[in-house]
Amino acid sequence: MNIALAGFGQEGRASYEYWNTPENTLTIADERETIDGLPDGIRTVVGADAFAKLGEFDLIIRSPGINPKKLPYGEKVWSPTNEFFVKCPAPIIGVTGTKGKGTTSSLIASILTAAGKTVHLVGNIGTPALTELPKIKPDDIVVFELSSFQLWDIKKSPQVAVVLGIEPDHLNVHDAMEDYVAAKANIVRFQTADDLMVFNRNNQIAVQIASLSPGRKAEYPFELGDIVSTIQLPGPHNVENASAAVAAVQDYVTDPEVLKQGISSFTGLPHRIKFVREVGGVRFYDDSYSSAPAASIAALKSFNDPKIIILGGYEKHADFSDLASYVANDATVKKAVLIGQTKNRIAEEFSRQGIADDRYVVIDDTDFSAIIRQAYEAAESGDVLLLSPGCASFDMFNNFTERGDRFVDIVNDL
């Protein structure tokens, strides 16, 4: 079969390994002119018009970050996520939402592991699902963190679908909020009456998506009782994530002691409100994973102490009005340090909502070390200094991991 791999990032590389068999001829298509790490001898179609040249292929594999509208080839377009859903022999618990996907997926996996299950945690959390597929047995359980990009053109839904809170995000890639929500909603479109749908009852969009599923419904958040004391993660949003995880595993785990063990053994993912160190009485936290304003609000709610927050980054056309409103009404936010491509838009929203000039500063400098040191100079003993940008990292870094690692290195050198 003559196959084009549209996009050659992490998922594209996994697709190459999966479809690179003697009966297939592979070509990599990418809008970038230069691609690092190409397999030896591979045919390529590159450049701005690469995706317009794929009509000759029998099958086109869409990497998640490629908008399906760029590939108008009908049924010839497929995706790694679709392939996995069709071929996976085990039940799948799928998790989507704007924030909390990785943490909730990890909590679910931790609970199931505590119950003695063999669990495969895949997807947007960092492990391409196709690389894990050969290891999966029918009695195992897959926990799949699903982004809107992976759900864009999905043809099958998971047996358990978890929809966390949904807020505007990725509007630089999706045509509009309606397209983003429609992609998220695909997680339940193909469920059956026997399937389970877990949703955030406090989020209107999640409630709307729940109504599309014919499956059994389970709402969260709910009271966790004494389970709540075992949660190792800061912030009320993580109590909600834990309740979503408990609801998601109800067909597999009901023993409260196992639930406690699973929840207590998970201490958090890298770059999600992770304590770095204390310097001069100032506690530094790395929340570089925060790429949407709602995530920064959740991070601010995690601390009652006086806070300095570093906000801003790559322009995704997010709405910062709710974030500005929260800062305006939370006196514990002493100062916001605004950086990156979005700094001026955030400052304009702060000004519009009446936040005093001395509570935020716009920094044009792109030297991250200088930015951190200037933020530290604004802090006093007893303060929390929080990197929670509420924006993607691509203006200054390759990804949120690089941004968080750099933050940690700088703080450790203070």
Residue-wise pLDDT tens digits, 155-164: 999 999 999 9
Could you list the residue range(s) of the whole structural domain that residue 27 is in? 2-78
Examine residue 111 and state whether it is found in any structural domain, yes or no: yes
Distance of alpha carbon 123 from alpha carbon 130, whole angstroms: 9
User: What crossing angle do the helices spanning 293-301 and 236-248 adopt, rounded to 10°?
Assistant: 110
Examine residue 162 and state whether it is found in any structural domain, yes or no: yes
Q: What is the model's pLDDT at position 71?
A: 96
Q: Which residues pair with 44 in a beta bridge?
A: 28
Examine residue 283 and state whether it is found in any structural domain, yes or no: yes
Examine residue 106 and state whether it is found in any structural domain, yes or no: yes
Examine residue 406 and state whether it is found in any structural domain, yes or no: yes
Q: Are residues 146 and 251 in the same domain?
A: yes
Torsion 273-266-64-164 (CA) sign: negative
Q: Are residues 284 and 257 in the same domain?
A: no
Q: What is the model's pLDDT at position 251?
A: 97
Q: Are residues 213 and 101 in the same domain?
A: yes
Distance of alpha carbon 110 from alpha carbon 180, whole angstroms: 29
Q: Are residues 219 and 188 in the same domain?
A: yes
Q: What is the DSSP letter of 314?
A: B
Q: Are residues 325 and 251 in the same domain?
A: no
Last residue of a domain, one of 214, 238, 264: 264
Distance of alpha carbon 50 from alpha carbon 8, whole angstroms: 12
Q: Are residues 72 and 101 in the same domain?
A: no
Residue type for position 202: N
Quick count: other Cβ atoms within 10 Å of Cβ 70? 15
CATH number, domain containing residue 255: 3.40.1190.10
Distance of alpha carbon 1 from alpha carbon 3, whole angstroms: 6
CA 209 and chain centroid, separation: 19
Q: What is the DSSP string of 59-122?
A: EEEE-TTS-GGG---GGGEE-HHHHHHHH--S-EEEEE-SSSHHHHHHHHHHHHHHTT--EEEE
Last residue of a domain, one of 208, 230, 264: 264
- The number of domains in the chain is 3
Residue-wise pLDDT tens digits, 190-242: 999 999 999 999 999 999 999 999 999 999 999 999 999 999 999 999 999 99
- Segment 378-384 mean pLDDT: 97
Last residue of a domain, one of 78, 98, 117: 78
Q: Are residues 111 and 227 in the same domain?
A: yes
Q: 402 pLDDT band (50/70/90 cuts)? A: very high
Are 189 and 210 in contact by the 8 Å Cβ rule? The answer is: no
Q: Which residues pair with 120 in a beta bridge?
A: 142
Q: Are residues 43 and 106 in the same domain?
A: no
Examine residue 269 and state whether it is found in any structural domain, yes or no: no
Distance of alpha carbon 103 from alpha carbon 233, whole angstroms: 9
Q: Strand 274-279 and strand 160-163: pairing? A: unpaired
Instruction: Output the pTM of the full model.
Output: 0.85
Query: Does position 19 have pLDDT exceeding 70, yes or no?
Result: yes
Q: Are residues 70 and 153 in the same domain?
A: no
Residue-wise pLDDT tens digits, 307-330: 999 999 999 889 999 999 999 999
Q: 171 pLDDT band (50/70/90 cuts)? A: low
Residue-wise pLDDT tens digits, 88-121: 999 999 999 988 999 999 999 999 999 999 999 9
CATH number, domain containing residue 373: 3.90.190.20
Q: Are residues 352 and 382 in the same domain?
A: yes
CATH number, domain containing residue 69: 3.40.50.720
Q: 43 pLDDT band (50/70/90 cuts)? A: very high
Q: Are residues 303 and 220 in the same domain?
A: no
Query: Does position 168 have pLDDT exceeding 80, yes or no?
Result: no
Q: Strand 307-311 and strand 196-200: pairing? A: unpaired
Q: Are residues 242 and 114 in the same domain?
A: yes
